[in-house]
Amino acid sequence: MFNARVLDLRNRDEIKGEMKKVGSTGAGVKIMSRKADQRLIKLENVGIKEANIIKQEMLSAGGDAVTHKGTLDHSVGESDLILLGTIRQYEKLVSKLKIQPFTCKDIAAEVEEVLENYDKRGFVLKFPKKEIALDRTLVMGVLNVTPDSFSDGGKFFDADAAIDHGVEMAEQGADIIDLGGESTRPFSDPVSPEEELKRVRPVVEGLLQKVDVPISIDTRRPTVAREIVELGAQMVNDVSGLRDPEMVSTIADLNVPVVVMHMLGTPKTMQEKPEYKDVMGEIIGYLRNQIDNAVKGGIQRENIIVDPGIGFGKTVEHNLEILRRLGEMRSLGLPIFVGASRKSFIGKILDSEVADRLEGSLAALVSSVLNGANIVRVHDVEESVRAVKMAEAILTKRF
């Protein structure tokens, strides 16, 4: 009996697989998969002349473009565009734009770059002592050595307790341990670098004797990053997103992986009244700028990991949109890092206190994995490792 359905395919490999099932030739699959692989690309702040050229060339290639209504009569000076097309149509567009006037050549290069970035795979974290291929989602365990952390309320402020917990997380399957000596919860006050070092130094020294998983230092301060990495940590997690030029030069000198996070304001101010016109556009734009500055400052691009900053200057609605549209961050062509565990937006949705947010945290984690996260930062390591394994099996059909 005749049967019809809409195919819900995630990538070109899945498209090719379905075409092979139909019985197409290898050459046919190669050609047709590029025609079936649809992309929506948003271009922002494009000059009106270029906008009209792009729309015309996209139409001639068989695709389409959404522009501001004022582009036709030039009643606006610039327009955002949403391009609708297949990979094959974008190839035609790029070819045409390269020979057009104004800034069309630069726009063509940008379109080529985001398309290449979006499909990029094969990331590798190059730690000083080992390399880890990101052919699966890594689990990073949270270890806060603070008296005022939102998640554990100082439970591991004692160095011996913190070391024991770090060992436990490694035994439960954590791929990385993220050690922090300053709370960055909303409305928190900063501590001095001296106090931060006093908290984390003995824990690092103890963990290095007992675990072989890489240790990440969660800090905004270049002096802390340098001392703890030179002590034996192998990664830096900077919630301030490399805003400090000294941190850029420090990471360049240390040559270790660094997480660059988006945050609106500072921990003290970020949750006062967070507002965005386009939350994903602004996050990705900010991160792109920080990446460019980092590379110019000497940091190897392959050492950069990007984090949208769940809960850092975002409302509940912002956080949900980030998780749902996380795949857009693949446009940056770098590993994606997500830390949603136990965050307040989960508590608001489920009406639960911090200690009762496991199910919500795991739901956010699985969504992150399915939408492209390469590293997830979690408090409940054992449960999270199992949830990641299941999500990976759904995504790859491998187990």
Percent of the chain with pLDDT over 70: 97
Residue whose tokens read 């190839």:
91
The pLDDT mean for the chain works out to 94
The domain locations on the chain are 1-36, 42-118, 124-396
In this predicted model, what pLDDT tens digit does every residue of 322-381 receive, in sequence order? 999 999 999 999 999 999 999 999 999 999 999 999 999 999 999 999 999 999 999 999
Give the per-residue pLDDT at 154. 55
d(CA 391, CA 97): 40
Lowest-confidence pick of 82-96, 173-187, 295-309, 315-329? 173-187
Task: Please state the rounded mean pLDDT for residues 9-21.
Answer: 92
Which residue in the list 199, 220, 226, 377 is annotated as catalytic? 377
Residue 310's pLDDT band (cuts 50, 70, 90): very high
Q: Is pLDDT at 118 greater than 90 in this prediction?
A: yes
Does residue 154 or residue 36 have the better pLDDT? 36
**pLDDT tens, 181-215?**
998 877 778 889 999 999 999 999 999 999 999 99
pLDDT of residue 185: 72
pLDDT of residue 186: 75
**Has residue 36 got a pLDDT over 70?**
yes
Q: Is the dihedral of CA 227, 230, 231, 232 positive or negative?
A: positive
Q: Could you tell me the end-to-end alpha-carbon distance of the chain, in angstroms, rounded to an integer?
A: 35
Distance (Å) of CA 27 to CA 14, 156, 223, 267, 294: 16, 59, 56, 54, 42
pLDDT tens, position by position, 235-275: 999 999 999 999 999 999 999 999 999 998 777 777 888 89
Known catalytic residue at 377: yes
Cβ of 296: how many Cβ atoms within 10 Å? 9
The strand pair at 78-86 and 38-47 is best described as: antiparallel
Tell me the backbone φ, ψ of residue 79, rounded to 5 degrees.
-150, 145
92 is catalytic: no
pLDDT at residue 73 tops 80? yes
Instruction: Output the pLDDT for position 340.
Output: 98
Q: Which residue has the higher pLDDT, 69 or 188?
A: 69
**158 vs 67, higher pLDDT:** 67
In angstroms, the CA 208 to CA 233 distance is 8
Question: What is the spatial distance between Cα 200 and Cα 192, in angstroms, rounded to a whole number?
Answer: 13
- Domain 124-396, what architecture? Alpha-Beta Barrel (3.20)
- Degrees to nearest 5, angle at CA 68 with 67 and 70: 125
Q: Which of 144, 131, 239 is nearest to 175 (CA)?
A: 131
Model confidence pLDDT, tens digit, residues 140-176: 999 999 876 555 555 666 899 999 999 999 999 999 9
Angle between helices 48-60 and 87-97 (to 10 degrees): 130
Query: Which entry of 343, 357, 389, 397 is annotated as an active-site residue?
Result: 343
